[in-house]
A and B are shown apart, each in its own frame.
Chain A
């Protein structure tokens, strides 16, 4: 009998590595979050160009999503997969390459984002060399994971593994297609998609990054660690199967709800809304399944911090997945879009669901991985309460901020004019809530520090040499193979077929949603008066991207009266056909800029960029005095224009005669003379500010000229 058994050991060293990385990057990501939260309340915290809000905000999101949640998923995945499959990971070398490769990616992100290298697409900001690195490391992870499945000694794939499989496959597809771009330089590229198509691709990716990086992997973790911690099988395995397939079928369609009332075709928006609302059902099925796993074990929740964290995590999942479908309903979205409500929504998910699930999982793992008792259960309890209280403060404050600003934007007075025509009024109203948010986030981080202390002290008490138990299990081929009566059971016995089916569901859905916008002309009517940016404006646009202006300013006016009153004619799909990448934005910390061109004189913009508070006293925008001294890279402009032309932007002479730099210089010279004549600083003809202002002055102009729409004069406070 024993002769037919394999003997092997689990690789827990790799799990320990990922665990430590989870904590370290989690702390870094959260500290950056706290810092940028404070920058909104105290703009003088924007101390240097590489520490401005626009450059740090993507660092925060990338750090918490890919570094914190990513490493947390890998921790749990490596621990649980080996045990569920009764096999050591396929290759120790691949495990190490995965670990160190992923950390290298994170470090590259932490360096390049503050330096202003960004693709300007949310959660896909990292530039093309890092994108290639991510793809390679992801493939390494996939080979390692599927290799382990191939040599498994447990025929049936437990439901947690399906969630891992779906996540691994889908993230690969999303990452590759959203990041397709043409390099312009070593750390600069232009998306191959433009305008509406780029927006559609981005939010197909963006929403599914939430779905397949922050939801399905963590559901897999929930389905393994929750039963383990409660010492009870999952409440309903049946429900977990239905949960899985419904999520895989539906999630991929939901992305367009991020683009309601934008220039996206309405059918896509409606499709996204319908699927998002339907998603409520399977999500709550999963939540109920998680909570009911604790049936008969509720008394343990009182004394066990692990279960406490899990209960709040699953509850937060339930709240976020109720709110998500609600926010995807167009009329609710009209109020919430561009406001802090969305920020509150993601933080319920990130702090509550991902954070708490990670904390619970790690507290459960610590004694097992370091083979000693958890240093302090009391500290873990304290961590739980601090994190819970911090999260509530954060959520209450930022929900209020979102509702407040959303309602103020749309308020009209009795004469039918905007009640708060000055954008800054709506910003000032949020200040108290921004402070409460900072306190809430601070508490959460203090909890994180206690967490770190507990990890450190538990680690310190580890044995000199880890005990590595030898596991024995029969290889699959000698296990009696009974024919499976049910079709679904037979699929799962064939991981390859199962994976292909999952991939197929995801790809088919994606194609049906995306292809029409690319290939059916009537979806994006062209506008004859819309012309490409001049070479100088293009250089300015790249500065707008470098500084991350899109993090706070949208360029997408929705067709509502309160929007057109405030910003001008609503945005048309045909207006952004040359925008590689699109810059519609998703949050208005400052006003929309889609029709900024021509609203103010050039000099106003120069002064405003130099010191925003000299123009608008209470402005919370970072100052950019450096733009007045740094010089435009005229030599690099030709290459940029050439790549744009390669992507189909009709640049004519600028490309065929190689005149881009010459044209840019001529335009800059003319603008600089104008600025000097208005009484501004002289000698700006080769300074970056000129390119940026040229871009800002172009925004929205093509349509204005064509239709002759009358526009409102600059608000009184905007005068010089």
Chain B
């Protein structure tokens, strides 16, 4: 009886694992570059203050988005 497993094991899918690995790595490298690139600092600082935007009086910094 021809089983699904026979088809899959002979269809040479192994290469896709390597392709996925490379893609994942590229995305990850992209993320790292985008956060360490110069110029990201101001935005990141602003983002890190979002939790304090709901209580203006207690905010540790006056800088806010929008």
Contact = CB atoms under 8 A, between A and B. Distances in A.
B65 A156 contact: yes
Interface in B37-63: 37, 39-40, 43-54, 58, 60-61
Interface string B1-43: 0011110110001001100100010011011101111011001
B8 to A, nearest CB: 4
Interface residues on A, range: 35 or more
Contacts of A242: 31-32, 35
Interface string A609-640: 00000000000000000000000000000000
A86 B43 contact: no
Nearest to B66: A479
Given A242-B32, A471-B54, A521-B9, A233 B49 contact: yes
A233 B48 contact: yes
A374 to B, nearest CB: 17
B44 A158 contact: no
A249 B45 CA distance: 25
A565 B13 CA distance: 41
Given A238-B40, A518-B5, A246 B28 contact: yes
A320 B63 CA distance: 37
Contacts of B34: 486-489
A466 interface: no
B31 A245 contact: yes
Contact of A238 (B5, B16, B17, B44): B44
A84 interface: yes
A714 interface: no
Contacts of B8: 515, 519-520
A508 B60 contact: no
Interface in A650-669: none
A237 B48 contact: yes
Interface string A490-531: 000000000000000100110010010011111000000000
Contacts of A126: none
B50 to A, nearest CB: 4
B32 A520 contact: no
A443 to B, nearest CB: 34
Interface of A: 80, 83-84, 86, 154-156, 158-160, 224, 227-228, 231-234, 237-238, 241-242, 245-246, 249, 471, 474, 479-480, 485-489, 505, 508-509, 512, 515, 518-522
9 contacts: A83-B51, A156-B65, A158-B47, A231-B60, A488-B30, A519-B4, A519-B5, A520-B9, A522-B9
Given A156-B47, A234-B48, A487-B30, 17 more contacts: A83-B54, A86-B53, A154-B65, A154-B66, A155-B66, A158-B50, A231-B52, A233-B49, A233-B61, A237-B44, A241-B31, A249-B24, A488-B31, A489-B34, A515-B13, A520-B8, A521-B9
